[in-house]
């Protein structure tokens, strides 16, 4: 009997990871300096989540649990690897330019999204940052799929018309 429960738990967890893995990896990538580090962080968080799988009360709480596990794991890693800093009379040269311009563009896009109305901003984040389908967004927000589609369409139109984004696209 216990084997049946474990197998069901394992299959349920596997289905969750297959469904939400790409979005969770993007979250891990935002917390780490490299892709390999992000994969390691996500793997550690998923391991913690698997052991707590039975304690997570609702399916909607799973993403939050994994994200919290990633943040806590990363904070612990930062604390473990903290460098000793010694004062010096000489300040070393530091690179301040971003030759790719990606950080400037990402910052510009984030500011443009922040200027969207609440509902549009929420749906854009769910669609493009959390990688949810239109049906999943509609279910989560309690609206129709048509509402999600039209809201995304209006938000994308506003972003295309955003003057800061137009300038940023022209310079990259």
pLDDT tens-place values along the chain, 172 residues long: 455 555 578 888 899 999 999 999 998 998 888 888 899 999 999 999 999 888 887 878 898 899 999 999 988 888 777 666 667 777 767 665 655 555 667 777 888 888 899 999 999 999 988 888 999 999 999 999 999 999 999 998 988 888 776 665 566 5
pLDDT, position 7: 59
The predicted pLDDT at position 154 comes to 94
Q: What was the pLDDT predicted at 128?
A: 87
Residues 6+ apart with CB under 8 A from 67: 24, 27, 45
Distance in angstroms (rounded) separating the CA atoms of residues 139 and 59 = 13
User: What are φ and ψ of residue 168, in 5° steps?
Assistant: -65, -40
Domains of the chain: 2-80 (1.10.1740), 102-171 (1.10.10.10)
Give the three-state DSSP class for 54. helix
Residue 70, number of CB atoms within 10 A of its CB:
24
**pLDDT at 144 (0 to 100):** 94
- Per-residue model confidence (pLDDT) at position 3: 52
Q: Which residues of 123-155 are buried (b: 16+ CB within 10 A; e: fewer)?
A: bbebbeebbbebebbbeeeeeeeebbeebbeeb
End-to-end CA distance of the chain: 60
| pLDDT at residue number 1 | 47
CA 144 – CA 130 distance, rounded (Å): 19
pLDDT value for 136: 92
Is 0.85 surpassed by the pTM of this model? no
* Distance of alpha carbon 128 from the chain centroid: 10
Nearest to 168 by CA among 102, 99, 97: 102
């Amino acid at each position: 009997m216990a084997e049946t429960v474990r197998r069901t738990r394992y299959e349920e967890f596997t289905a969750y990871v297959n469904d939400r893995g790409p979005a969770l990896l993007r979250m891990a990538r935002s917390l780490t300096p490299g892709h390999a580090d992000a994969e390691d962080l996500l793997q550690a968080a998923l391991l913690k989540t698997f052991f707590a799988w039975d304690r997570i009360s609702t399916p909607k709480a799973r993403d939050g649990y994994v994200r919290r596990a990633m943040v806590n794991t990363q904070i612990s890693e930062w604390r473990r690897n903290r460098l000793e800093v010694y004062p010096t009379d000489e300040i070393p040269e530091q690179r301040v330019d971003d030759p790719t311009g990606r950080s400037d563009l990402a910052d510009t896009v984030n500011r443009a999204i922040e200027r969207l109305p609440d509902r549009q901003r929420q749906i854009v984040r769910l669609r493009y940052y959390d990688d949810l389908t239109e049906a999943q967004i509609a279910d989560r927000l309690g609206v129709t799929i048509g509402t999600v589609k039209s809201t995304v369409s209006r938000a994308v139109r506003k972003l295309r018309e955003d003057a800061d984004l137009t300038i940023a696209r022209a310079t990259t």
